[in-house]
């Protein structure tokens, strides 16, 4: 459709057409016809009329914004950009201060910030039909302008800084200042409400943009909403109409972040916070949120149940004297992008990072006794990839540096090991701090090398990769594989059917699996014995953390404990367990645990001491169930290699195998003669793949022949 004079506003705006069709569900042609009809109504010669039309309705706002995506702009797009140049800044590609957006779903020019605002307007258009015209215009103007401080051309941003005193660090408040300037220039001349309070409501709503989401993520306390509550109470209707607009804005902005983000559970959480603002002053309870609760929310705890309040409290207590200092510094702090920046770190790493950053704020002259802002967007860029997943090696590097830093240095904003990396900070205004995780040339080279080596098909590269991780202390413990922990656990889970054979030997009641790895045996036990207490006990923190990630927001019928299996009696009590399961774990006790005087690895005594510890924990007639490798008769075998790389792998295995010397005799035609026991160890190690080779080569899978194994275990009990 075109206007009666035959003009088409979208004919020369291909990018606008794509974006409108992408943002709005339904018939694409109907969407374009509706846009053409709306654009035909604009009095294009009148600046105030153009501005009023843009903000009057979410669909009209979307049509106007879409026209700004074309470069060069169509005549209509150029006119809108002239009247409202701030909106044109949303289409700037090379200066977008945002992390939370989906990729563009169409071919053409990349404008992620503009596309996100378009999706928000489409949501408001769909769900705001019950609002009156004034409320719809309020929702539209807030959605259009609440992110303008994130965009802008370099010239625009410099002008905003010089004329308005904003730099985009606190984007909701800065966007409200920019909107106020637009209202003074043009929008204030338009009649958009009957009571004359439209402009004031628009500015207050813009400044409150995103605060509920930040509250749910722990980035602000509920007290940050106090000023907005006071404004609502000053409204003639007690704020109900404005709160309804705010609710629509919250839903629209959140839905626009990512498809599927706005769930029923999240909607209820938003509604609870929004309702709290309308409570009487005596019951609204805008007390400061406890720091432990805030940190749990920052790490997804409030909605994903990843960590308990006691976990967070324990991490804060480990700061000792640093805890009250951190509580004081963060009491009035609004932390931007906290969930994305802190969620990939260990809990202790996240807490120590907050302490270090708060110290940096003090050192740069920020008064933390007044409201202040901490912007972690640049930290997110270093710690997460383009898909939002944590970057394993940079995360470990930062955790290592934080762990190595003394408490007194953290309090002063310092970070140990600054030859590798450090935290740089930039002050934004008087009360905002932007920080960046900066790596040295050495650290950059190291991380690049690790990323390359982990993709190599050769076990030799993975040997070097592990050595580099150990050299720079990037592994949490002796069992940690850093980059391929999840792949390893998936492989561990693969032998599900074979492991299920053990269930016939298990007695119900309290059932403990030592070293559960990926958890497949625990799942099998939970299915088979639904009324029993099923517990996994693992010495690897990485395994326990992987379980916590799997368990987040789900109902899982077993527990996971980080602990030492030699302390079974202390953990569970003497004579309290019905069945203890060792599934492919006793050979790891043999391989990794130093035992005896002097302590040494590869000790059968360590295995038997573990069996004794398990036996002491058993009830009368309880059971120990073992599934593990046993030594075959040591007869010679001739092995022929069809793949030359496996022949090279045997040479590497013989050099790297830690438990004992591997002997073999080269023969002609790519064959070797090797003992059955050495062959067993080679095959059960090398078949894990090159990325697991440097870890598996440290283990001996067959500890004893079966008869000796059984007799020594009986003797130990």
What per-residue confidence (pLDDT) applies to 146? 95
**What percentage of the chain carries pLDDT values higher than 90?**
48
Across 642-653, average pLDDT: 86
pLDDT of residue 103: 41
pLDDT per position as a tens digit, 305-332? 456 777 888 889 999 999 999 999 999 8
Does the structure show a pLDDT above 90 at 605?
yes
> Is it the case that residue 342 has pLDDT exceeding 60?
yes
pLDDT at 108 over 60: no
Phi, psi of 674, deg, nearest 5: -145, 145
Identify the weakest region by mean pLDDT among 107-111, 250-254, 527-531, 596-600: 107-111
The torsion region of residue 210 among left (phi > 0), alpha (psi -120 to 50) and beta comes to: left
Q: Any residues with CB less than 8 A from the CB of 376 and at least 6 apart, and which?
A: 335, 336, 337, 338, 340, 341, 342, 435
What DSSP letter does each residue of 608-647 carry, written as one string? HHHHHHHHHHEEEEEEEEEE-B-PPP--EEEEE-SSHHHH
Give 151's contacts (C-beta < 8 A, 6+ positions apart). Answer: 89, 90, 91, 92, 95, 96, 97, 113, 114
d(CA 322, CA 327): 9
pLDDT reading at 119 higher than 50: yes
| Main-chain dihedrals φ then ψ at residue 424, nearest 5 degrees | -100, 150
Using 50, 70 and 90 to split pLDDT, how confident is the model at 225? Answer: confident
The more confident residue out of 383 and 420 is 383
Q: What is the pLDDT of residue 254?
A: 94
Instruction: Give the pLDDT mean for 565-588.
Output: 94
Write out pLDDT tens, residues 32-73: 999 999 999 999 999 999 999 999 999 999 999 999 988 888
- The structure's pTM equals 0.65
Q: Look at the block and give the residue holding tokens 């497949």.
A: 520
User: Average model confidence (pLDDT) for the chain?
Assistant: 85
pLDDT of residue 458: 65
pLDDT range class, residue 4, cuts 50, 70, 90: very low
**105: pLDDT strictly greater than 60:** no
**CA 423 to each of CA 199, 339, 414: distance values in angstroms, whole numbers, following the listed order:** 41, 18, 8
With a CB cutoff of 8 Å and minimum separation 6, the contacts of 128 are: 58, 135, 136, 139, 248
* Range of 139-148, 379-388, 390-399 with top mean pLDDT: 139-148
Q: In which band, very low, low, confident or very high, does the pLDDT at 245 lie, cut at 50, 70 and 90?
A: very high
Supply the pLDDT for residue 544.
80
* pLDDT band at residue 284 under the 50/70/90 scheme: very low
Query: What is the pLDDT at residue 249?
Result: 97
* pLDDT tens-digit readout, 72-94: 888 999 999 999 999 998 887 65
Q: Tell me what the mean pLDDT of segment 129-142 comes to.
A: 95
| pLDDT of 14 higher than 80 | yes
When computed from its CA atoms, the radius of gyration of the chain, rounded to whole angstroms, is 31
Residue corresponding to tokens 């590497």: 652
Residues 6+ positions from 307 with CB-CB distance below 8 Å: 296, 299, 301, 347, 548
**What is the mean pLDDT of the segment spanning 206-235?**
87
- SS3 of 547-577: the string is HHHHHCCCCCCCEEEECCHHHHHHHHCCCCE
Q: Which of 202-211, 295-304, 638-647 has the highest mean pLDDT?
A: 202-211
Q: Answer yes or no: are the C-beta atoms of 603 and 595 closer than 8 Å.
A: yes
Domains defined for the chain, CATH in brackets: 14-101+110-284 (no CATH), 291-441 (no CATH), 488-627 (3.40.50.150)
Starting at the earlier edge strand, list the strands of the sheet with 333-336.
333-336, 372-375, 432-439, 421-427
Residue-wise pLDDT for 455-508, tens only, equals 666 666 666 667 667 766 666 554 454 555 444 444 444 455 567 788 889 999
Q: Which residues contact 227 (CB under 8 A, 6 or more apart)?
A: none
Cis, peptide link before residue 377, omega less than 30° from 0:
no
pLDDT at site 304: 45
d(CA 266, CA 651): 56
């Amino acid at each position: 459709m075109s206007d009666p004079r035959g003009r088409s506003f979208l004919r020369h705006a291909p990018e606008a057409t794509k974006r409108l069709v992408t943002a709005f569900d339904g018939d694409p042609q109907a969407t374009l016809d509706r846009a053409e009809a709306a654009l035909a109504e604009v009095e294009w010669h009148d600046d105030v009329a153009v501005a009023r039309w843009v903000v009057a309705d979410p669909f009209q706002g979307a049509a106007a914004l879409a026209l700004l995506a074309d470069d060069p702009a169509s005549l209509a797009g150029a006119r809108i950009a002239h009247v409202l140049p701030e909106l044109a800044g949303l289409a700037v590609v090379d200066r977008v201060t945002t992390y939370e957006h989906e990729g563009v779903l169409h071919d053409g020019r990349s404008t992620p910030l503009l596309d996100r605002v378009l999706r928000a307007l489409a949501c408001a258009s769909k769900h705001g039909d019950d609002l009156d015209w004034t409320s719809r215009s309020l929702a539209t103007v807030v959605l259009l302008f609440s992110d303008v401080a994130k965009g802008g051309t370099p010239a625009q941003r410099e002008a905003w800084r010089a004329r308005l005193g904003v730099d985009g660090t606190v984007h909701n408040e800065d966007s409200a200042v920019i909107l106020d300037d637009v209202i003074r220039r043009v929008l204030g001349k338009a009649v958009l409400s009957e009571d004359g309070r439209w402009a004031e409501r628009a500015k207050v709503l813009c400044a409150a943009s995103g605060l509920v989401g930040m509250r749910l993520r722990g980035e602000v306390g509920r007290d940050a909403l106090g000023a907005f509550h006071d404004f609502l109470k000053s409204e003639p209707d007690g704020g109900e109409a404005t709160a309804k607009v705010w609710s629509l804005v919250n839903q629209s902005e959140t839905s626009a972040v990512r498809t599927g983000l706005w769930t029923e559970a999240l909607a209820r959480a938003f509604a609870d916070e929004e309702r709290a603002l309308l409570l009487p002053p005596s019951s609204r309870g805008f007390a400061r949120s406890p720091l432990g609760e805030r940190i749990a929310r920052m790490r997804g705890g409030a909605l994903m149940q990843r960590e308990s309040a006691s976990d967070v409290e324990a991490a804060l207590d480990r700061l000792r004297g640093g805890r009250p200092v951190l509580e004081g510094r963060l009491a009035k702090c609004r932390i931007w992008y906290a969930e994305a920046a802190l969620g990939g770190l260990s809990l202790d790493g996240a807490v120590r990072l907050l302490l270090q950053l708060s110290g940096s704020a003090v050192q740069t002259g920020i008064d933390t006794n007044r409201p202040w802002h901490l912007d972690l967007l640049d930290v997110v860029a270093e710690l997460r990839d383009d898909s939002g997943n944590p970057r394993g090696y940079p995360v470990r590097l930062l955790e290592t540096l934080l762990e190595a830093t003394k408490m007194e240095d953290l309090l002063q904003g310092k970070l140990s090991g600054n030859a590798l990396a450090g935290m740089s900070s930039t002050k934004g205004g008087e009360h905002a701090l932007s920080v960046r995780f900066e790596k040295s040339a050495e650290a950059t080279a190291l991380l690049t090398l690790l990323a390359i080596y982990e993709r190599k098909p050769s076990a030799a590269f993975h040997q070097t990769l592990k050595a580099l991780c150990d050299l720079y202390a990037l592994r949490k413990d002796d069992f940690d594989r850093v980059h391929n922990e999840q792949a390893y656990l998936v492989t561990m889970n693969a032998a599900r059917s074979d492991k299920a054979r053990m269930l016939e030997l298990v007695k119900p009641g309290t059932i403990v699996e030592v070293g559960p790895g990926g958890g497949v045996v625990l799942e099998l036990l939970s299915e088979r014995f639904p009324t029993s207490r099923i517990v996994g006990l693992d010495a690897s923190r990485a395994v326990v953390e992987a379980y916590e990630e799997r368990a987040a927001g789900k109902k899982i019928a077993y527990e996971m404990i980080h602990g030492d299996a030699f302390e079974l009696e202390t953990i569970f009590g003497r004579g309290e367990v019905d069945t203890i399961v060792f599934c492919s774990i006793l050979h790891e006790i043999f391989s990794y645990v130093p035992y005896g005087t002097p302590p040494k690895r590869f000790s059968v005594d360590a295995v038997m001491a573990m069996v004794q510890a398990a036996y002491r924990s058993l009830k009368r007639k309880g059971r120990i169930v073992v599934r593990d490798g046993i030594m075959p008769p040591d007869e010679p075998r001739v092995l022929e290699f069809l793949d030359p790389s496996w022949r090279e792998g045997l040479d590497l295995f013989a050099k790297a195998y830690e438990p004992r010397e591997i002997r073999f005799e080269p023969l002609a035609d790519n064959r070797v003669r090797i003992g059955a026991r050495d062959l067993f160890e080679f095959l059960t190690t090398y078949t894990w793949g090159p990325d697991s080779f440097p870890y598996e080569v440290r283990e001996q899978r067959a500890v004893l022949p079966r008869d000796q194994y059984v007799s020594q275990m009986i003797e130990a009990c």
